[in-house]
Chains A and B, each alone.
Chain A
Amino acid sequence: MFNFFFIRDVADKLFNLSFIIIEIPLILLIFKPPVFIQTDLISILLFISSLIFAILIYFYINVIFGSIAFWSRDIWAPRFLLMVIMEFAAGAMFPLDMLPETWQKVLYLTPFPYLLFVPLKTYLGESILSNSHIYISLVWVIILGLSAKFIWSRGIRSYEAEGR
């Protein structure tokens, strides 16, 4: 079941990625931003690993929050809260290094910066946490993966088919 959901999630990401064929040239044309192409092989490899971990972390967080549906009829509100927190804490709204240092330290204790900000910094070849972020990402993948499986198995026990 998990594998099926994961493959579907990856397929959905690939589908959304296809939009860049239209979006990226448009953004380049209108805003003419400077483009940085990474050529250092180690940075590229680190970035790919970071990206894979980010996909897994995102998937497991979604499974955990989606599992609320086993106990509650309304999952839209908690999912909306998660979305809002993720947008801020992952660095999608603005780069996290713009925040005061204490805030950054607190955010690095959560899995969210490893979803976007850390992979981006890795691609740029900028060292964050002395490259130990790869190991931290892996630890989050393990913690969240185990939590997701545990919560899912508990949820299945509480599941009641309501039908329509």
Chain B
Amino acid sequence: MKPYLIRAYWKVWLKLTIQQFQQQIANSRGAAILFIFSKLFRLGTAFLFIWVIIDKAKLLVGYNLEQAILILALFNLISSITQLFMRGIYIFRQKVVDGTFDFYLLNPLNELFYSLFSYTDPLDLVLFIPYVGIVLWAWIGTGASITFSTILILISTILIVEILILAWHIVIISVGVRYLEVDNTIMLYRDLERMAAMPIEIYGKIGSSVLTYVFPFALMATIPARIIFGLYNSWYLLGFALLALVQLKLALWCWRNSLTHYSSASS
């Protein structure tokens, strides 16, 4: 992609995000605090869950309390990045139904960009910083050393997993273009995604294989955590990078194919 195009996308994204922020400030200042509290409460209950399990079982499929907490913290961070950037999927159906998608198609910027990235919630941006802090706190808690190379590998893992997640989001909105069904599909996807909050080994051999090679969920938390603990060969990430590219290519093919079947659904 040419630099001026990247600048254009960045400017548009920033403008849309600022608009969202202004809208939230104008409509519901108190709601923002409630929203942040709810997110932190949910994270707190998830930590409580792990504490309750390990308090009774001592180990969770071989992971101790600190390690299981790091897996949860990593899942939370990576999931919040997805929520931050790909929030448009939650209103995509509405955009198709009310005709806004027609304007996306006419726009000089890519219609996928508007469909997925145009609804960034600034509150997720606010929460991103404490989430990084929680990961660091959990990381220190495990006793694993924090090195520059591990951080670099972790960032690469996040990039790969976000490409995989992007591919699945594109597939879901492709289904939305053809069948006007997005909301239930994305909820199903989110339910599956939440399985990654726990070490994937708890789902058995078949379950963990599906969550590793079909869906990108193992790469969201368990694999990066194992890299941090020194229990995973990071060269395998190259294989995942290849898988990410293949899935993205397939997803884009799906998207283009669904667009050929699109007929303006608006009234």
State the Cβ distance, A19 to closest chain B Cβ, in Å: 8
In the complex, what residues of A have CB within 8 A of residue B49's CB?
A: 93-94
B31-39, B64-72, B137-145, B159-167 - interface stretch: B31-39
Once A and B bind, how many residue pairs between them come within 8 Å at the CB atom? 59
B207 within 8 Å of A (CB atoms): yes
In the complex, what residues of B have CB within 8 A of residue A98's CB?
A: 52-53, 56
- B205: nearest chain-A partner, CB-CB: A30
In the complex, what residues of B have CB within 8 A of residue A77's CB?
A: 28, 30-32, 34-35, 38
Expressed in whole angstroms, the Cα–Cα distance for A99 and B184 within the complex equals 32
Cβ proximity bits A10-49 to B, threshold 8 Å, 1 near / 0 not: 0000000001000000000011100000000000000000
In the complex, what residues of B have CB within 8 A of residue A93's CB?
A: 45-46, 49
A72 within 8 Å of B (CB atoms): yes
Other-chain residue from A19, A74, A84, A94 in contact with B31 (beta carbon distance below 8 A): A74
How many chain A residues touch B (CB < 8 A): the figure is: 21
Expressed in whole angstroms, the Cα–Cα distance for A66 and B39 within the complex equals 20
B28 touches A74 (CB 8 A): yes
In the complex, what residues of A have CB within 8 A of residue B188's CB?
A: 19
B28 touches A30 (CB 8 A): no
Expressed in whole angstroms, the Cα–Cα distance for A30 and B206 within the complex equals 6
How many chain B residues touch A (CB < 8 A): the figure is: 25
B-side interface mostly: helix
B28 touches A94 (CB 8 A): no
B210 within 8 Å of A (CB atoms): yes
B204 within 8 Å of A (CB atoms): yes
- B27: nearest chain-A partner, CB-CB: A73
Expressed in whole angstroms, the Cα–Cα distance for A36 and B218 within the complex equals 30
A-side interface mostly: helix
B41 within 8 Å of A (CB atoms): yes
B42 within 8 Å of A (CB atoms): yes
Expressed in whole angstroms, the Cα–Cα distance for A37 and B31 within the complex equals 44
Expressed in whole angstroms, the Cα–Cα distance for A83 and B190 within the complex equals 15
Expressed in whole angstroms, the Cα–Cα distance for A80 and B39 within the complex equals 9
A85 within 8 Å of B (CB atoms): yes
B41 touches A94 (CB 8 A): no
State the Cβ distance, B45 to closest chain A Cβ, in Å: 4
Expressed in whole angstroms, the Cα–Cα distance for A85 and B40 within the complex equals 11
Expressed in whole angstroms, the Cα–Cα distance for A54 and B28 within the complex equals 32
State the Cβ distance, B33 to closest chain A Cβ, in Å: 8
- B37: nearest chain-A partner, CB-CB: A81
Expressed in whole angstroms, the Cα–Cα distance for A93 and B53 within the complex equals 12
Would you list the 7 A-B pairs with minimal beta carbon distance, nearest first? A74-B28, A77-B31, A77-B34, A74-B31, A81-B38, A88-B45, A77-B35
Q: Can you spell out 6 A-B residue pairs with CB atoms less than 8 angstroms apart?
A: A30-B204, A32-B204, A76-B31, A77-B30, A81-B41, A84-B41
Q: A83-B38, A93-B46, A98-B53 are in contact. List 9 more A-B contacts (CB 8 A).
A: A32-B204, A73-B28, A76-B35, A78-B31, A80-B35, A81-B35, A81-B37, A88-B41, A93-B49
